[in-house]
């Protein structure tokens, strides 16, 4: 049994065939998943899917890559949706300095306003962070929340700092890529009780499926790689990462 903590069954690519992808996942033992919002419409779809299946949960939020035109009205909608019983976190929210299509100040403003929503509702947060580790850390240090560093691509040292703040480190397809040294170091050096698995589909399909449409079932390859790197049984990685997901999403 696996818990995929970050899928985009709500994306244009997967949404219409969500039942097919969910059946594929169940066949592989992926019997828990969280569908993650990245703008208002995708957050609404995440909620829709979460209400169709018992074992599917949702997050709602506006990602740093999708916040160029975000208004206060949009954030009010997110706050309203976040009150739904199937919402287990706010996200994905954060900072992305890899792309420069959204000014840093705008990203920071939308990030902080959503942190406020999470604080008001006492929800954990799912963080998207790319090339913005120090700025993200500084915001989180003051936020006094818990959550997930999703599709983590930073250093193992930085990961340990986020863990100290109360964050889990979630690994996706890159940990399976031959040349991805850093995610492999993170998988090796971060204790299993701080790790989560995810697909962040529909892109970045893991080895051995690179180049195909990524889907929730594929999180088994992330668990397999972590097991190999740590010298553990796949079952143990599946079990501990599932327990971790239950804790961070407060499903216990």
Distance CA 146, CA 247 (A): 10
User: What is the total count of residues that contact Zn ion (CB under 5 A)?
Assistant: 1
- Return the number of other C-beta atoms located less than 10 Å from residue 104's C-beta: 14
Only one of the segments 54-62, 80-88, 192-200, 213-221 lies at the binding site for Zn ion (rule: CB under 5 A); that segment is 192-200
Q: Could you tell me which residues are annotated as the binding site?
A: 6, 8, 92, 128, 150, 200
Collapsing DSSP to helix, strand or coil, 229 comes out as helix
200 binds Zn ion (CB under 5 A): yes
Exposed (0-12), middle (13-18) or buried (19+): which is 238, by Cβ within 10 Å?
buried
Can you list the pairs that 151-155 forms with residues at least 24 positions away whose Cβ atoms lie under 8 Å? Answer: 151/6, 151/198, 151/200, 151/204, 152/183, 152/186, 153/182, 153/183, 154/129, 154/182, 154/186, 155/182, 155/185, 155/186
Instruction: Please identify the residue of the shown chain whose CB is closest to the bound Zn ion.
Output: 200
Q: How far is the CB of 204 from Zn ion (least distance, A)?
A: 10
CB of 8 to Zn ion, least distance (A): 6
Q: Is 39 in the site for Zn ion (CB under 5 A)?
A: no
Binding to Zn ion (CB under 5 A) within 42-101 occurs at none
Alpha-carbon span 175 to 84, nearest angstrom: 33
Residue 215 binds Zn ion, judged by CB under 5 A: no
The residue range among 69-77, 117-125, 160-168, 196-204 that interacts with Zn ion, by the rule CB under 5 A, is 196-204
Q: Residue ranges for the binding site for a divalent metal cation? A: 6, 8, 92, 128, 150, 200
Judged by CB under 5 A, which stretch of 50-58, 170-178, 200-208, 222-230 contacts Zn ion? 200-208
If the CB atoms of residues 91 and 194 are measured against Zn ion, the closer one turns out to be 91
Which residue number, 94 or 244, has a Cβ lying nearer to Zn ion?
94
Of the candidates 135, 226, 243, the one whose C-alpha atom is nearest the C-alpha of residue 185 is: 226
Stretch that binds Zn ion, among 73-81, 198-206, 221-229, 230-238 (CB under 5 A): 198-206
Q: What are the structure tokens assigned to 44, written together?
A: 């609404």
**Closer residue to Zn ion (CB): 66 or 200:** 200
* Euclidean distance between CA atoms 21 and 100, whole angstroms: 33
Query: Measured between alpha carbons, how far is 109 from 159 in angstroms, rounded to an integer?
Result: 24
- Min dist. Cβ of residue 92 to Zn ion (A): 5
Residues of the shown chain interacting with Zn ion in the complex, contacts defined by CB under 5 A: 200
């Amino acid at each position: 049994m696996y818990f995929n903590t970050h899928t985009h069954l709500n994306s244009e690519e997967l949404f219409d065939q969500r039942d097919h992808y969910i059946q594929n996942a169940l066949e592989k033992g992926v019997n828990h998943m969280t569908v993650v919002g990245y703008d208002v419409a995708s957050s609404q779809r995440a909620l829709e899917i979460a209400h169709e299946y018992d074992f599917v949960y949702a997050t709602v939020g506006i990602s740093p890559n999708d916040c160029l035109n975000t208004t206060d009205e949009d954030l009010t909608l997110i706050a309203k949706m976040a009150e739904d019983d199937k919402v287990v976190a706010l996200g994905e929210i954060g900072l992305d300095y890899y792309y420069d299509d959204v000014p840093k100040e705008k990203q920071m403003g939308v990030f902080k306003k959503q942190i406020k929503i999470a604080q008001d509702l006492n929800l954990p947060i799912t963080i998207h962070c790319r090339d913005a580790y120090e700025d993200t850390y500084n915001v989180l240090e003051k936020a006094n929340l818990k959550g997930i560093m999703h599709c983590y691509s930073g250093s193992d040292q930085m990961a340990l700092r986020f863990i100290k703040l109360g964050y889990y480190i979630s690994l996706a397809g890159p940990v399976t890529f031959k040349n991805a040294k850093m995610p492999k170091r993170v998988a090796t050096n971060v204790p299993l009780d701080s790790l989560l698995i995810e697909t962040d589909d529909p892109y970045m399909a893991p080895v051995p499926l690179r180049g195909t449409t990524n889907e929730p079932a594929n999180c088994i390859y992330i668990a397999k790689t972590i097991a190999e790197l740590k010298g553990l049984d796949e079952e143990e990685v599946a079990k501990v990462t599932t327990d971790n997901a239950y804790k961070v999403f407060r499903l216990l």
